[in-house]
Chain A
Amino acid sequence: DGGITQSPKYLFRKEGQNVTLSCEQNLNHDAMYWYRQDPGQGLRLIYYSQIVNDFQKGDIAEGYSVSREKKESFPLTVTSAQKNPTAFYLCASSMGGASTDTQYFGPGTRLTVL
C-alpha cells in the first residue's frame, strides 16, 4: 500500500524534553512538509524539504528541527525551546515543483506536554 505513515499516534512529553516525530512515505515523492494544527487556526507550515539533504524553514520553525537523510523519511524534533508544543502535527508529501502539485497527508501525531 502506498502512503504516508506517522508515528506515534499519540505522544506525551514532559517539559524540557526533546521528542522526535516520525514521518515516512513510499510514494516516491521528492517534497515533504511538516504542519502544525491548532484549534481554530488551520494548518501552519513548520519546515519543508524539496530534496534529500536540503530543507527550509516555514512560517513557525522556532523550537523545531528536521533532517532529510533519505527520500522516504522526514523526522521532526520538537525541542525544549518550543514554548507551546501541544498540538496536532501533520506530515505531507508531494511530487514537488509544479504549480499543480498536490500535497498528501499522513494521519498525524497528537503531542501533549504534561
Chain B
Amino acid sequence: EDKVVQSPLSLVVHEGDTVTLNCSYEVTNFRSLLWYKQEKKAPTFLFMLTSSGIEKKSGRLSSILDKKELFSILNITATQTGDSAIYLCAGRGGTSYGKLTFGQGTILTVHP
C-alpha cells in the first residue's frame, strides 16, 4: 500500500523565519510528487517534482526531490502571516489514472 508521511504535523514560527517541511514517500512505480497549500478550503497547487535533485522555485517557496532517499522538502524563506496554511504533499504512482496518495499535512502558523 502506498504511503506518504509528512513532518512536522504542526509548526509555529514568527514572520521572517525560514521553515522546512518534510515529506517521505513509499509509492509503487513512483511518477511524481506534488505540493499543495490549503488555506481554508480548496488546496491550491504549488509544485510538481519528477526528477531528483532539481529544485523548483516560486518566489519565497522552493522544493526539491530526492528519489534515492524517497523524500521531498518544501522550503519557505522570510515567512509572512499569509503563509499560514496546511501544506499537503502527495505522491503519484504508476497506475493508469495516476492516483495521488496524500500525507497528513503540516499545519504552519506564522505569527506577526
Residue positions of A touching B, CB distance < 8 A = 4, 31, 35, 40-45, 48, 50, 56, 58, 90, 94, 96-108
B57-112: which have CB < 8 Å to A? Answer: 88, 90, 92, 94, 96-100, 102-105
Which of these, B32, B97, B104, contacts A48 with CB under 8 Å? Answer: B97
Name the B residues within 8 Å of A101 (CB-CB). 92, 98
Name the A residues within 8 Å of B36 (CB-CB). 105
Cβ contacts B1-30/A at 8 Å (1 or 0 each): 000101001000000000000000000000
Taking residues whose C-beta sits less than 8 angstroms from the other chain, chain B's interface range is 20 to 34
Q: Are B31 and A99 in contact (CB under 8 A)?
A: yes
Name the B residues within 8 Å of A45 (CB-CB). 99-100
Take A31-B97, A43-B102, A50-B97 as given contacts and tell me if A100 and B88 are in contact as well, using a CB distance cutoff of 8 Å. no
Q: Are B42 and A108 in contact (CB under 8 A)?
A: yes
Q: Are B97 and A100 in contact (CB under 8 A)?
A: no
Nearest CB in chain A: distance from B4 CB, A: 8
Name the B residues within 8 Å of A58 (CB-CB). 99
Instruction: Determine the distance from Cα of A102 to Cα of B48 in the docked complex, in whole angstroms.
Output: 8
Nearest CB in chain B: distance from A92 CB, A: 8
Which of these, A40, A104, A108, contacts B9 with CB under 8 Å? Answer: A40
Name the A residues within 8 Å of B96 (CB-CB). 50
Question: Most A CB atoms within 10 A — which of B31, B44, B96, B97?
Answer: B97
Q: Are B105 and A42 in contact (CB under 8 A)?
A: yes
User: Smallest CB-CB separation from B90: which chain A residue?
Assistant: A43
Instruction: Determine the distance from Cα of A4 to Cα of B45 in the docked complex, in whole angstroms.
Output: 14
Name the A residues within 8 Å of B41 (CB-CB). 107-108
User: Smallest CB-CB separation from A105: which chain B residue?
Assistant: B42
Instruction: Determine the distance from Cα of A48 to Cα of B6 in the docked complex, in whole angstroms.
Output: 24
Name the A residues within 8 Å of B104 (CB-CB). 40-42
Q: Are B50 and A99 in contact (CB under 8 A)?
A: yes
Name the B residues within 8 Å of A44 (CB-CB). 102
